[in-house]
Amino acid sequence: MSRANPLDGLNLEEFQPKAPEAKPKADRDEIGRIAKENGFPSRQAPIEKPAEDRPRQHYFRTGRNKQINIKGSPECDEHLQRLVGELNVPKGVILEEALKALESIKFTAELTERLDREFPNRRKLR
């Protein structure tokens, strides 16, 4: 049994490649304008903020290697960042000093009353 040739009887000399169409080149400025209007991102490097607008980066070698993740309010974060900037110390030092201060007043009536109001279901330690 032989297979039939699907091209038998066709005259392939009639087929010629099409001549390429001359397409007009698009104007780059026009493309940029349309892209900007439709919110397409640019491939240009972003413009860097001036140094005074960027937050100051702090690098300290302290020997501290335990990361502590906590949630706080935006006001608390602003307060912490302000203290870091004013005192020019790592956040860990500020936390340590705050804990020492809290330890010294932890059983005062004013603090326990405030904690009882804010956290009514907390377990009493004393």
- Per the structure, the count of domains in the chain is 1
Confirm whether 2 is domain-assigned. no
Q: Which residues contact 116 (CB under 8 A, 6 or more apart)?
A: 122
Mean pLDDT by 10 residues, the chain (126 residues): 82 82 87 88 77 68 84 94 90 92 87 87 72
pTM: 0.48
Confirm whether 87 is domain-assigned. yes
Res 75: pLDDT: 96
Confirm whether 20 is domain-assigned. no
Give CA–CA dist 123/126, Å, rounded. 9
Confirm whether 12 is domain-assigned. no
Confirm whether 119 is domain-assigned. yes
- Containing structural domain, residue 94: 74-125
Confirm whether 26 is domain-assigned. no
Task: Kindly give the residue spans of alpha helices, DSSP state H, lying in the chain.
Answer: 28-37, 74-87, 91-105, 109-118
Confirm whether 81 is domain-assigned. yes
The residue count for the chain: 126
